[in-house]
Amino acid sequence: MPGHRENTCLTYQRGATHVRSNVDDVQAHYDLSDEFFALFQDPTRTYSCAYFERDDMTLHQAQLAKLDLTLDKLGLRPGMTLLDIGCGWGSTMRRAIERYDVNVIGLTLSKNQHAYCQRVLDDVDTSRCHRVLLRDWAEFSEPVDRIVVIEALEHFGSEHVKAGETVSYADLMSASGVGWLIQATVGSFGGVGRWCRNLAGLAA
């Protein structure tokens, strides 16, 4: 979420014994065949909400509009490093490389998505670095300039949002770092919204 440093951090509340995201759930859902997801995804393979600026837009156009709006809000500059948490099939990272000339790092727990992203990014004509890590988000500690999370918080596990040690993603960025969070929720931040707010560093 854009704004001051204290409003852009993602915090992770660690329980005593369970510190991982829902690995089994993620792999059971996303490690189905790529052909299955291609039946209803647009060509960018974006699996999140779209931004229909006009009524006559196709799904593909609306997904690109969402990616462009998101990346514009981050204030990316050439040479920066963008961390995409829950990177899906790589559309955000690819768009960031092509339009903003940045380095990208993607985190996913899906083996299929990991392999697909590698292929997608290897096809981009760029001198910038791109890496896709099959890694839980709480295990990442490298410095980055920008962080984006697009509809991935539901996979972090509500059991993580408990009293305990807090790891802040603000620690990965400088004071001028920016994070952008997009997340669908239900009600007025009740239920799943409670832990979305906590993970985003917002007041309860």
Question: Domain with 114 in it: what CATH number?
Answer: 3.40.50.150
The reply to whether 37 falls in a domain is yes
Higher pLDDT, 57 or 202: 57
In sequence order, which residues have a C-beta less than 8 Å from that of residue 13 and are 6 or more positions away? 160, 161, 162, 163, 164, 165, 166, 198
Query: Which band of pLDDT confidence, cut at 50, 70 and 90, is reported for residue 126?
Result: very high
**What six digits make up the tokens of 66?**
């969402």
Q: Would you say residue 18 has pLDDT above 50?
A: no
**Max Cα distance, the chain (Å):** 51
Cα dihedral 106, 108, 112, 115 in deg (nearest 10) = 30
Please, which residues bridge with residue 134 across strands?
108
Residue 198 to residues 47, 71, 169, 188, 195, Cα–Cα distance (Å): 24, 24, 13, 14, 5
Q: Would you say residue 104 has pLDDT above 60?
A: yes
The reply to whether 111 falls in a domain is yes
pLDDT of res. 152: 65
Name the percent of the chain in helix, strand, coil, to the closest 5: 35, 15, 45
pLDDT of res. 24: 55
The reply to whether 190 falls in a domain is yes
Which of 29-33, 41-45, 149-153, 167-171 is the most confident on average?
Answer: 149-153
Domain that holds residue 38: 5-199
- In this prediction, residues 68-90 reach a mean pLDDT of 93
Higher pLDDT, 2 or 196: 196
- In this prediction, residues 131-157 reach a mean pLDDT of 81
Burial annotation 67-78 (CB, 10 A radius, 16+ → b, else e): beebbeebebee
pLDDT of res. 146: 94
The reply to whether 109 falls in a domain is yes
pLDDT of res. 42: 63
Kindly report the pTM of this predicted structure. 0.70
The reply to whether 204 falls in a domain is no
Contact 87, 110 (CB under 8 A): no
The reply to whether 41 falls in a domain is yes
CA proximity to 28, closest of 91, 107, 109: 109
The reply to whether 20 falls in a domain is yes
Q: What is the DSSP letter of 187?
A: T
Q: Would you say residue 64 has pLDDT above 60?
A: yes
Q: Count up the domains in the chain and report the number.
A: 1
